[in-house]
Chain A
Amino acid sequence: KQEVTQIPAALSVPEGENLVLNCSFTDSAIYNLQWFRQDPGKGLTSLLLIQSSQREQTSGRLNASLDKSSGRSTLYIAASQPGDSATYLCAVRSGANSKLTFGKGITLSVRP
């Protein structure tokens, strides 16, 4: 059974810092991995999706990498801003027809 872990549960950084959010999964045979952002009291917004054949995806200041063999993905946020404060979740799909397995998220606070 796939398990997805995100540690730490919370992170506080000063504005302008580059930061890395980690996601680990137990079964390396994945189909794809998706990173989401969730603002308080809101739904999830998809940030990046990495297929199993890819090593990384980029969107603006965000870069997500995937290392299947080690069961890890990282979300890199460059030059963090207070508006980046939110909870970031990663989710793994184990097969083409499989459901998503979510981590519990990392709550990020960027201090002005």
Chain B
Amino acid sequence: DVKVTQSSRYLVKRTGEKVFLECVQDMDHENMFWYRQDPGLGLRLIYFSYDVKMKEKGDIPEGYSVSREKKERFSLILESASTNQTSMYLCASSLQIGQPQHFGDGTRLSIL
């Protein structure tokens, strides 16, 4: 079974802090994704990556950046956290584009 692991289930940070959310997958998947999920808005794609050191903007990249230095790890970075970035963050991976995405358990991030 594919395992996608997000480093923290819950995280509390303060406005202006630089925040790192980590995601690791163990199935040698090419593609990795970061979403945020908010009540009434559903899942929205922030960034995705097709390969190591490659990244593409999703629907809502503003205020975020990503890093993929190794195939198995995809990091989401909040450069200067703001209260409107309080959300549930979900990481996913897929073997190739067009194939099923497998999700981690999510990180519930609160920015105070």
Contact = CB atoms under 8 A, between A and B. Distances in A.
Interface residues of A, number: 22
Given A41-B106, A89-B43, A96 B101 contact: no
B2 to A, nearest CB: 9
Interface residues of B, number: 22
Contact of B101 (A31, A46, A103, A104): A46
A102 B97 CA distance: 16
Interface string A17-48: 00000000000000110101000011111100
Interface centre among A41, A43, A93, A99 (most CB of B within 10 A): A43
Given A41-B108, A42-B106, A105-B42, A93 B100 contact: no
Contacts of A42: 105-106
A53 interface: no
A100 B101 contact: yes
Contact of B98 (A43, A97, A102, A105): A97
A64 interface: no
B104 A99 contact: no
Given A49-B100, A97-B97, A99-B48, A43 B42 contact: no
B58 A99 contact: yes
Interface of B: 4, 6, 40-43, 45, 48, 58-59, 90, 92, 97-98, 100-106, 108
- Shortest beta-carbon contacts, A-B, top 10: A43-B103, A44-B103, A104-B42, A102-B43, A43-B105, A96-B98, A43-B106, A46-B100, A49-B100, A43-B104
